[in-house]
Amino acid sequence: EVQLVESGGGLVQPGRSLRLSCTASGFTFGDYPLSWFRQAPGKGLEWVVFIRSKVDGGTTEYAASVKGRFTISRDDSKSIAYLQMNSLKTEDTAVYYCTKWGGSFSDYWGQGALVTVSS
């Protein structure tokens, strides 16, 4: 069974940093791209970042709203993906979802991690 578990969320002050982790199981982690999405309270879904598998170069794509502040990485030996979030803003407050990429879609989603940016 495919499982994705996000951790590392919490309350952080504006301008500070936070790192989310996504621990995966139930599939060969290194073979698949991954993507993070977020959902602000009461709002719709927003794509954040995408990382390809190492076989496809491990390259990344970022939403304009987070480019230069967020960094995605992956440790295939541990089946963990990381989302390093720097210079956080109040508008980054959201539930962050880690997803497995199934080819042209996110086929499995984690339960999400709440990040609250507030002073």
Partner 1 sequence: DIVMTQTPLSSPVTLGQPASISCRSSQSLVHSDGNTYLSWLQQRPGQPPRLLIYKISQRFSGVPDRFSGSGAGTDFTLKISRVEAEDVGVYYCMQATQFPLTFGGGTKVEIK
Residues that bind partner 1 (CB under 8 A): 35, 37, 44-47, 50, 61, 63-64, 97, 102-112
Q: 3 vs 17, which CB is nearer to partner 1?
A: 3
d(CA 1, CA 98): 16
CB of 112 to partner 1, least distance (A): 5
Shortest distance, position 98 Cβ to partner 1, whole Å: 10
Q: Which of 10/102 has CB closer to partner 1?
A: 102
CB closer to partner 1 out of 68 and 103? 103
* Shortest CB 77 distance to partner 1, Å: 26
**Is-contact 21 80, C-beta < 8 A?**
yes
To the nearest whole angstrom, how small is the minimum distance from the Cβ of residue 80 to partner 1?
A: 19
* DSSP letter for each residue of 23-74: EEESS-GGGS-EEEEEE-TT--EEEEEEE--GGGT--EEE-TTTTTTEEEEE
Burial class (CB in 10 A: 0-12, 13-18, 19+), 90: exposed
